[in-house]
Chain A
Amino acid sequence: MLVLIAWRNIWRNKVRSLVVMMSIAVGLWAGLTAMSFSFGMYQGHIQNVILYQLSHIQVHHPGFRSEMELKDTVRNSLELQTAINSMPDVKATVRRCISPCMILAASGSSGVMLVGTPVSDERKVTGLDSMVVDGAYFNDSSRKEMLIGSKLAEKIHAKVGGKVVVMLQDANNEMVSGAFRVKGIYKTRNSAYDESMVFIPLNRMQELAALGDVSNELAVLLNEGASLEQVRTQISFLSHGEEVLDWMGLSPELDLVVNSFDLYMYIFMGIILMALMFGIVNTMLMAVLERQRELGMLMAIGMNRLRIFAMVMLETIWLALVGGPLGLLLGHATIRYFGTHGVNLSQYSEALSRYGFSNVIYFQLDQKYYWPVLLMTIGVAVVSAVYPAIKAVRLEPTQAIRKI
């Protein structure tokens, strides 16, 4: 019956209760939506980085990533590539040679990474061809042609058809240089990447740097739904001591956000709920003060303090139990909608793209958060009810009844 009284008490002041329930609902909705937006944004970012830059897994000579020397090559990379390509979860692979170099154009120079890559494999793995915004992608790997990023092109004033010279240390630690014609300019969503990566055909790189048919990097793109860890272990096994890293290992900072998202989520929701707490406390205080006579009467006829306390508690919990699920539902619907349709932020994309985020954000939030968020809401309701409930319990029946 206390539960029933509490429930009916909510509706005594409909407007006031609805305001509280709505504020809980809107608070949760806003929290969930904001979190799903940022989570979706990071997930989108990670997908971009995987699909257009890193791939899922990369194989290197163990010292390569720190030293960046051409001589640190992946052992038997051709055989390894063939073996990896035959794995069912693997979509495509590419072998690359990579070296830091100096690039010089007519009126500018810059330090960049020179990547030698088989032109058709690169297309399959990163779709570099689709990112060419000026000029064209390689069509003949025998030519000394180069693709540069739009940001770099601006910086060193290079144009399609123009000539650039690269200088680097070859496999024998000799300085070598080579002249290339800019075949095309590409633009990814990450302008830092565009500024620092230049591509030439793999065989031209091997020739320039006096390398055989070797490579420093083997990038592996997986099919959707493939088990990253399983494939990584298999490749590790095949590659005899080479360094095999998945994208999280390659770029731990990408994973950091995802890994600490639980914490962000609860802190963020906690802050919102804290703000809501004041509204709940206020409402319940008003409710208690308004009903002093009734509460006094109940104590007079024998309702003990525990029951009075519980009644106020339950009423607050009811507010949370209506507002909370409503907020979750609204949040869920919003996330579902923008999870499939996405939000186009192209107006702001200049700033976003600098950090490698895409224009369209697909909201994303694990439903595992719903229960804890609801429990947190109820928890906050309980905490909010304590003070008003204590007020109610402290009433003296004679004093309370006297107030007419």
Chain B
Amino acid sequence: MAQTVIDAHNVSKVYNPGTVPVKALTDVHLHVEEGEFTALVGPSGSGKSTLLNIIGGLDKPTTGNVVVAGKDLASLASNKLIDFRLHHIGFVFQSFNLVPVLSAKENISLVMLMQGASKKERNLRAEELLFRVGMSDKMDVRPGELSGGQQQRIAVARAMASKPKFILADEPTANLDSKSAANLLDMMAELNREDKTTFIFSTHDPRVIEKARRVVTLEDGRIVGDTAKTPLTHV
């Protein structure tokens, strides 16, 4: 049986509770297992980013609780939470994923360095990951010299570097043209198939949604749909 990596219960989020309250999430339940390739969809303002931030330990729910890799996030103090993210969660953002002054390889190594990996280990894994995302030839190039699609590939490699339980990607293709977006998704799907890397990504793009094997639909902060194309996870 696949391992549960995310268990969100009764999660609600209200922004600005004091002044102008915005109910971004209401009573959300989400259960994600290892190896899933899940898309979070919904119109703008439906709460996709909010949910991903809460699952990723970047933001706290107003009520409800989130258990990630067996750990209740609410029990972690802020410094511990940073460390928890470092070791268990990978992130890919829409943009500004990479440190502009570091080369592709250095960006990937940075996470492992913070985890305390040896230089040899870092080099080996960074090179392997660059190969996996098809960026071996851009190893020593800085992000500024890469296309948006290439940058996102490096970002995915970086997210994988720490061997996280799952990778959260908030609109990873929003800044890409449709061809690059499709390529990125294909690559992610491949990593998912080969390594059982768990991906949860939000998107607007129907062609991206197509590639997902589970689609969770949000509307006004509520989950209104959750469809799976079997098999949901690899066995």
A212 within 8 A of B: no
Instruction: Give the contacting residue for B101; candidates A5, A300, A304, A398; CB below 8 A.
Output: A5
A348 to B59, alpha carbons, bound, how many Å? 70
Docked CA distance A32–B159 (Å): 51
Stretch at the interface among B40-48, B87-95, B179-187, B210-218: B87-95
CB-defined contacts of B115 to chain A, threshold 8 Å: 302
The count of residues in chain B whose C-beta lies closer than 8 Å to any C-beta of chain A is 31
B78 closest partner in A (C-beta): A305
Q: A15 within 8 Å of B by Cβ?
A: no
Contacts of B109 in A (CB 8 A): 1
Question: CB distance B95 to A398 under 8 Å?
Answer: no
Q: Which residue of A lies closest to B142 (CB)?
A: A8
What is the minimal beta-carbon distance from A318 to any residue of chain B, in angstroms?
12
Interface centre among B82, B93, B102, B111 (most CB of A within 10 A): B82
Interface mask (A276-314 → B, CB under 8 Å = 1, otherwise 0): 000000000000000001100111111111010000000
Chain A CB within 10 A, most for which of B93, B158, B162: B93
Contact A1 B110 (CB under 8 A): yes
Question: A300: which B residues are within 8 A, CB to CB?
Answer: 56, 58, 85, 91, 93
Any B CB within 8 A of the CB of A9: yes
What residue of chain B has the Cβ atom nearest to residue A299's Cβ? B82
Please report the total number of A residues contacting B with Cβ < 8 Å: 23
Residues of chain B within 8 A of A305, CB atoms compared: 79, 82
Q: Is the CB–CB distance between B101 and A302 below 8 Å?
A: no
Query: Which residue from B58, B111, B113, B162 sits with its C-beta under 8 Å from A398?
Result: B58
Nearest CB of A to B105, in Å: 12
Contact A297 B93 (CB under 8 A): yes
What's the Cα separation between A11 and B144 when bound, in Å? 14
What are 5 A-B interface contacts by the 8 Å CB criterion? Answer: A5-B99, A297-B97, A300-B58, A300-B91, A304-B79
**A interface list, Cβ under 8 A from B:** 1, 4-5, 8-9, 11-12, 293-294, 297-305, 307, 397-398, 401, 404
- Contacts A4-B102, A297-B93, A298-B99 supplied; 12 other A-B pairs, CB < 8 Å: A1-B110, A11-B101, A12-B101, A294-B96, A294-B100, A297-B91, A297-B96, A297-B97, A302-B111, A303-B114, A304-B114, A397-B58
